[in-house]
């Protein structure tokens, strides 16, 4: 079982963010835990134990150690933890400003063993432009505090391909991140989403949209620098060393079933995908009335599931089988340096991952028997 729990609360909205969040000065932590408890009771999960548990957001670290411990205790009580093989992976997303010795100790005591830290940049000007609360110095301080509390599995998030006007030094940001020696790095190219401050700035000409050429240059530089430092890109946006990949996210990319709790959380059972209402107040209201807060669902046909399997595999270092793509198209990928053959599989190169959406177009012709 793979469980995702969405904690929607944030201190402020970042300039690029269109996620389902609720900006609050006071975090209704106990009310949130009570709502998740009600959703759990209505869903009546089976006896399958958790292999991974991921607290995402939003900003789960805003819940506070006590509420987080209560939430995790409820989830473990409902599901139990897997005891076969590796211990369960329990991740919390955290902002650097929330990482204090008391909070880190509380997370460890509650059973968290992996932290995904929203560093985003090591440039104070960029962080202010992003509407982040922390400054660059706080990134390193947060990592040191987590290590002092016993955390070894730490992931850092970085955003690249920012507008040229910011004069952000991507090479320096990579050096600063690598100097902290995280187990894992997630790299996200900036995208312009509707109804965000960034979209409004661009529409009125206050700043230029991100540049495709800059995107490609910075993505390839990250592959070069991280590879030289011993990190392996196991997925288009994620790199790890010492086999510290995210087991939870890897479950998504391999098409496994997962359950989502909380506002906007998605669930997938192998055939159908369901998602909850996005807004916190609507989610709270539905559960207060004793109803599941499901917004909608979609049932995937066999052909849709097969296409999704190929697409997800192409995102990862595993790649797809040579029979999943027409021979002439495969030859073109290899000739142009977009893919490489490894046994009976074809894997994207870094240049191929840059063209992932276009390459997926070569996978849309499915066998008639699917």
Residuewise pLDDT in 10s, the chain (370 residues): 899 999 999 999 999 998 889 999 899 999 999 999 999 999 876 667 889 999 999 999 999 999 999 999 999 888 887 766 778 999 999 999 999 999 999 999 999 999 999 999 999 999 999 999 999 999 999 999 999 999 999 999 999 999 999 999 999 999 999 999 999 999 999 999 998 999 999 999 999 988 899 999 999 999 999 999 999 999 999 999 999 999 999 999 998 999 999 999 999 999 999 999 999 999 999 999 999 999 999 999 998 999 899 999 999 999 999 988 889 999 999 999 999 999 999 999 999 999 998 898 887 665 544 4
Residues of the chain with CATH 3.20.20.70: 2-253
> What pLDDT score does 361 carry?
83
Q: What is the CATH number of domain 2-253?
A: 3.20.20.70
> What pLDDT score does 47 carry?
64
Close Cβ partners of 281 (under 8 Å, ≥ 6 residues apart): 22
> What pLDDT score does 121 carry?
98
Contact (Cβ atoms closer than 8 angstroms) between residue 129 and residue 175: no
Contact (Cβ atoms closer than 8 angstroms) between residue 14 and residue 131: yes
> What pLDDT score does 368 carry?
45
Contact (Cβ atoms closer than 8 angstroms) between residue 322 and residue 344: yes
> What pLDDT score does 370 carry?
47
> What pLDDT score does 131 carry?
95
> What pLDDT score does 83 carry?
63
> What pLDDT score does 218 carry?
98
> What pLDDT score does 18 carry?
86
């Amino acid at each position: 079982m793979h469980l995702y729990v969405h904690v929607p609360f944030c201190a402020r909205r970042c300039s690029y963010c269109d996620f389902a969040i609720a900006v609050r000065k006071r975090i209704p932590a106990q009310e949130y835990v009570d709502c998740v408890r009600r959703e759990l009771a209505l869903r009546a999960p089976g006896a399958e134990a958790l292999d991974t548990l991921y607290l995402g957001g939003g900003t789960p670290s805003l819940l506070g150690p006590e509420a987080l411990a209560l939430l995790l205790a409820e989830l473990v009580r409902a599901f139990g933890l897997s005891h076969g093989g590796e211990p369960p992976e329990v991740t919390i997303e955290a902002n650097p400003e929330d990482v204090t010795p008391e909070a880190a100790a509380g997370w460890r005591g509650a059973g968290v063993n992996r932290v995904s830290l929203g560093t985003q940049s090591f440039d104070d000007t960029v962080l202010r432009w992003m509407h982040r609360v922390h400054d660059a110095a706080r990134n390193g301080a947060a990592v040191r505090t987590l290590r002092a509390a016993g955390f070894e599995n730490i992931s850092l998030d970085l955003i690249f391909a920012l507008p040229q006007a910011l004069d952000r030094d991507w090479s320096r940001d990579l050096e600063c991140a690598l100097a902290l020696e995280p187990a894992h790095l997630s790299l996200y190219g900036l995208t312009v989403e509707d109804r965000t401050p960034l979209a409004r700035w661009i529409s009125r000409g206050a700043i230029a949209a991100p540049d495709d050429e800059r995107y490609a240059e910075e993505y390839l530089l990250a592959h070069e620098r991280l590879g030289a430092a011993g990190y392996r890109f196991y997925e288009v946006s994620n790199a790890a060393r010492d086999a510290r990949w995210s087991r939870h996210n890897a479950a998504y990319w391999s098409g496994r079933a997962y359950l989502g709790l909380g506002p906007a959380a998605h669930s997938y059972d192998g055939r159908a995908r369901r998602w909850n209402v996005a807004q916190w107040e609507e989610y709270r209201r539905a559960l207060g009335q004793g109803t599941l807060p499901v917004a909608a669902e979609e049932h995937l046909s066999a052909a849709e599931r097969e296409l999704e399997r190929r697409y997800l595999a192409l995102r990862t270092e595993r790649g797809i089988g040579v029979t999943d793509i027409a021979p002439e198209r495969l030859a073109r990928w290899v000739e142009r340096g977009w893919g490489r053959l490894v046994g009976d599989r074809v894997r994207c190169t870094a240049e191929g991952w840059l063209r992932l959406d276009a390459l997926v177009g070569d996978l849309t012709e499915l066998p008639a028997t699917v």
